[in-house]
Amino acid sequence: MNRNVLMAGGGIAGMAAGFAVARVGWFAKVFERAPEFSEVGAGVQLGPNVTRILQAWGLGDALKHVAAFPAGLQARSMNSGEVLATLPLKDALNTYGAPYVTIHRADLHGLLLKAAVREGVQVHSDALVQRVHQTPDDVTLDVMQNGQLQNHKGTVAVGADGVWSPLRQQLLGDGLPTFTGHVAYRALVAQVDLPVHLRSQDVSVWMGSQAHVVSYPVSGGEYLNVVCLAEGRLLDDEAHNLQALQTWNAQKSEAQTLAELYHALRGACAPLTDLMAACSDWRLWPMCSRPAMQGAHQHVQGRIALIGDAAHPMLPYLAQGAGMAIEDAEELALQFCHATPENAPQQLQQFAQARWQRNACVQARAVRNGQIFHAQGPMRVGRDMGLRLMGARLMDVPWLYGYDRN
């Protein structure tokens, strides 16, 4: 029997998994439906739990060339601008043995793609996985590529095809993700184009009522990634429009976008409104999700595994979406160190048992963080008071950043 792993999806999850299993002696094929391999979106935060893996994979130097290494994380009041608490991110290296970095999604995807190709991973773009079949001995992907339906046989298949995963629908049949009522407005601005007082090499989180703004450097600090996450409308009355929900890059007119932003940020302090006014080309991302994972069966069925957003969509309030996908990839590789074509289903079950509870915990904590970030009334007062009193102790998450499967 062969030792082929077939990946449906060539984003961060699929590329990381393809590279990881290739490192331990398996042959990986990655099928991406887009015409070319790229990543949409803007910035990504990677905690020490993730950069530790990238360093172990030999990608530490590549990361240094494209990432930013913020000195601190500031929690601020959206209305007054007061710095409520600061977490020194530079301490992460000493505390957790790996740095905290911020990076453009395209840069992260690019370094994973280069590493995968270098490791012998076979990548196919413009390749739509339509269906997966499995027997007790192998799997087959039906792939539409270059206008032709092709069949690819392998030992196992991995669904890394995102939050709207067709493979998940075939495998679990548990319906589509639902719109959370939260919308992210994203912009990327060159730091040199910002007034000096708005430039930053830190992560800043401005917390208000039913909205917050996060900004951080990417591309070696040359750009500032700015995201406003607000509870509100999508595209007018399109909250139930499937096409509108599935986009990362929806756009409205500049006037309409600014009107919605200023409504979400009403009462915000001058430094924050100045930053928002300095940004343009805003893109909308409607946030859709699923309940936290309920069991290992949502990761693995027979010879087919689901990873990343296909298995456990993450809301961005803990900044761990890409991180959990990379942790999934690392665990998959650890199990494949002991796998043979014959015992692959058993090793996939070990993978599922090792991952589902942690992913469920991170999903739930992200939801809770969103409630805290957007708190109103007495809860908001308590949040701000707690940050003033406890500072970094309240912001650090050792159970998350200290995780090391090895």
Catalytic residues: 216
Q: Which strands form 283-289's sheet, in the order they lie side by side?
A: 83-88, 72-77, 203-207, 211-218, 223-231, 178-190, 283-289
Q: Are 312 and 359 in contact (CB under 8 A)?
A: yes
Dist CA 141 CA 130 (whole Å): 7
Sign (positive or negative) of CA dihedral 42, 47, 49, 51: positive
Alpha carbon distance, N-terminus to C-terminus of the chain: 29
Who contacts 277 (Cβ-Cβ below 8 Å, separation ≥6)? none
Continuous segment of H or E residues that includes residue 7: strand 4-8
Helix (H, G, I), strand (E, B) or coil at 74: strand
Q: For 265-308, where are the alpha helices, taking DSSP H only?
A: 270-278
Which residues on neighbouring strands pair with residue 231, listed in sequence order?
A: 182
Q: Are 278 and 193 in contact (CB under 8 A)?
A: yes
Q: For 189-320, where are the alpha helices, taking DSSP H only?
A: 242-245, 254-264, 270-278
Dist CA 328 CA 324 (whole Å): 6
Number of neighbours of residue 173 by Cβ within 10 angstroms: 7
Helix (H, G, I), strand (E, B) or coil at 401: helix
Four-CA torsion 248, 287, 374, 208, nearest 10 degrees? 20
What is the total residue count of the chain? Answer: 406
Dist CA 72 CA 86 (whole Å): 7
Pairing of strands 27-31, 122-124: parallel
SS3 content of the chain, % helix, strand, coil (to 5): 40, 25, 30
**Rg of the chain, C-alpha, whole Å:** 21
In the numeric block, which tokens belong to residue 232? 């509100």
